[in-house]
Amino acid sequence: MPTSFVINNKYEILNKLGNGSFGSIYKAVNIHKSEFVAIKVERINSPFKMLKNESYVYNHLGTLSCIPAIKWFGHDEQNYYMVVQLLGPSLKDVLINNGAFSKHSSLTIAVHILSIIQYIHSKGFIHRDIKLDNFLFKNTSNFNMLYVIDFGLCTHIPRNKTPNKTTELIGSPLYASLNAHNKIELHMRDDIISLFYMTCHLELGTLPWLNDNQMNDIIEKKKNLNGLMNSIFYRTLLNCYAFEFNETPNYTLIKRRLLENSNVT
């Protein structure tokens, strides 16, 4: 998309920020307010139609400090556009630039993100794409506030008592639960399992399967994490896998276990 292109007679494209799972993301400015924003763009003829779903979720989640403000959603003849609050670097950006986080920082972030996940679940949704890329700081100088983004794969919490089969893995292979790898319908537990893998990545600076391309290799390494995690952390992860498909997680207990883990050397 060319720079100086103006959307909705208001938002001027400045530069491309990157590519999302199903479209592109640009930095733009509201020419009437001199306010910088981010714009997600998806082709009208895209087979995925993720952006409309994402705007729907944003509107239903409402205004909360961890949810970016959505400014506008619309389309022209070529594209759908969603204008949202411009944020700073992601957890992935900070990890790449600064290296592994301390145990305390990793688990403090994990507890905070678990509260965000709990809020999303309380609104009747599961995120299904919990990963480092999707948690952004407010700006480059404020590392105290995290926002969750990218609700393209988000869906209503299933109300069926037993899981259906899916046709493909949903989410990022790096952080997806074994249920996702096994093509089992995702539920609340799977968002939290992905958070555990994320937390390991933050603290270790890597994951055993980070550079693996074969799904079977990733699955086998995810099954053998006992030596990688201390016992409290590993038991808590296994407890999440033991949740029934439609069971509501005990968020308070999981937070307490994470904080207990932060005291283990």
Helix (H) or strand (E) holding 72: strand 70-75
Coarse DSSP helix, strand, coil percentages of the chain, rounded to the nearest 5 percent: 35, 20, 40
Spell out the residues 6+ positions from residue 34 whose beta carbon is closer than 8 angstroms to its own: none
**What are phi and psi for residue 29, nearest 5 degrees?**
-130, 140
- State whether residue 238 is helix, strand or coil: helix
Residue located via tokens 């938002």: 11
Q: Which residues contact 209 (CB under 8 A, 6 or more apart)?
A: 174, 217, 218, 221, 222
Task: Name the amino acid, one letter, at 103.
Answer: K
Catalytically annotated residue among 76, 129, 133, 217: 129
**Do 81 and 41 form a contact (C-beta atoms < 8 A)?**
yes
Nearest partner of 188 among 119, 236, 89, judged by Cα: 119
Distance CA 69, CA 33 (A): 16
129 flagged as catalytic = yes
CA gap 169, 181 in Å, rounded: 6
User: φ, ψ for residue 74 (rounded to 5)?
Assistant: -170, -170
In Å, how far from its chain's centre is CA 199? 13
The residues annotated as belonging to the active site are: 129
